[in-house]
Amino acid sequence: MKFVLLIMGLLTSYSSMAAPPLSFSQVAPGIYLHTSAHHWPDRDNHGEIANIGFIVGERCVAVIDSGGSPQQGAALRNTIRQVTAKPVCYVINTHVHPDHIYGNIAFKEPGVQFVGHHKLARAMATRGDHYLGRAAELLDIQVNHDNIIPPDIEVNDSMTLNIGNRELVLTAHPSAHTDNDLSVYDKTTETIWLADLLFLEHIPVIDGSIKGWLSEIERLEKNHYKLVVPGHGHLVKDWPASLQPQKAYLNSLATEVRAMIKQGKTLEQAVNTVGLPAKKNWQLFEQFHRKNVTIAFAELEWED
């Protein structure tokens, strides 16, 4: 039995080392982005559905989200090795969802520090068993508690990482998409990696606070960025214009849910009526919209 387990471990290790590099675009000097198509996570795509990438400094490399599976993480690592001889020094997880963190294990080695929101470790601990318990059935991947790697460095408000003549400003946001959202701003190219604080084409997914997300949108849209990397969708070059569809969806959702609550309507009535005309505007609407209504209703019914 031990021999079989040893062989299986060796095969898994070999498979990870042999993972083919991912397709990447250099969207700005030293910034490399893998853009994913919009899919529901399943056994065919193995949960590899989010935008991931890395930034190269003069000293080392910062990974921003490691991918939706250990194999994708290995492929990302192998891509980095083809691009540069500089070592990876940071793996920055923008939030807790599996499509952004399951590749972490590929970078678990001396010299690499994991970075996240100060609430990320708690979210990982709270959700880890649930995520891991469903991974084999839903995603056809093998993961265990070693794949849930909490941050070595926690960001409470903001923090600047220097990767060699290149400063990355990390911001820990209030509850929005989740309660552990982290963004990364590259001063050199005026590029911000918003991850799942921004969705394009893919319907926004609320797993935190609709009120908080709208507040963050109001703050972010006042800032100037040359490039914006969403968690799902294409690279943004017209900020804040590309933010407006998401803002409109969330505003409309909040307005309609508040009206339903004021009228004394039930959650079930809200889920069956609120926001349905927006279906034509978003991919994966059927998979996420009713959940969004449910979460918004639960939050807004307790407003003063």
| Residue 177 included in any domain | yes
For residue 220, is it within any domain? yes
Residues 168-218 have pLDDT tens digits of: 999 999 999 999 999 999 999 999 999 999 999 999 999 999 999 999 999
pLDDT digits (tens, 9 = 90+) for 252-275: 999 999 999 999 999 999 999 999
pLDDT at 113: 98
Backbone angles phi, psi at 154, to 5 degrees: -105, 135
Q: Does pLDDT of 50 surpass 60?
A: yes
- pLDDT bin (cut points 50, 70, 90) of residue 304 is confident
Q: Is residue 234 part of a domain?
A: yes
The answer to whether position 278 is within a domain reads no
Confidence of residue 7 (pLDDT cuts 50, 70, 90): very low
Cβ neighbours, 10 Å, residue 190: 14
pLDDT category at 1 given cuts 50, 70, 90 is: very low
Domain assignment of residue 293, yes or no: no
Query: 91: domain range?
Result: 19-242
Domain count, the chain: 1
Looking up residue 64, the CATH number of its domain turns out to be: 3.60.15.10
Provide the whole-model pTM.
0.93
pLDDT digits (tens, 9 = 90+) for 112-155: 999 999 999 999 999 999 999 999 999 999 999 999 999 999 99
**pLDDT tens by residue, 70-108:** 999 999 999 999 999 999 999 999 999 999 999 999 999
pLDDT at 16 over 80: no
pLDDT of residue 2: 29
Q: Is residue 10 scored above 50 in pLDDT? A: no
pLDDT greater than 90 at residue 159: yes
In 3D, which of 269, 246, 270, 276 has the Cα closest to residue 257? 270
In a domain, 139, yes or no: yes
The average confidence (pLDDT) of the chain is: 94
Per-residue pLDDT, 20: 72
Tell me if 260 is assigned to some domain.
no
**Within-domain flag for 104:** yes
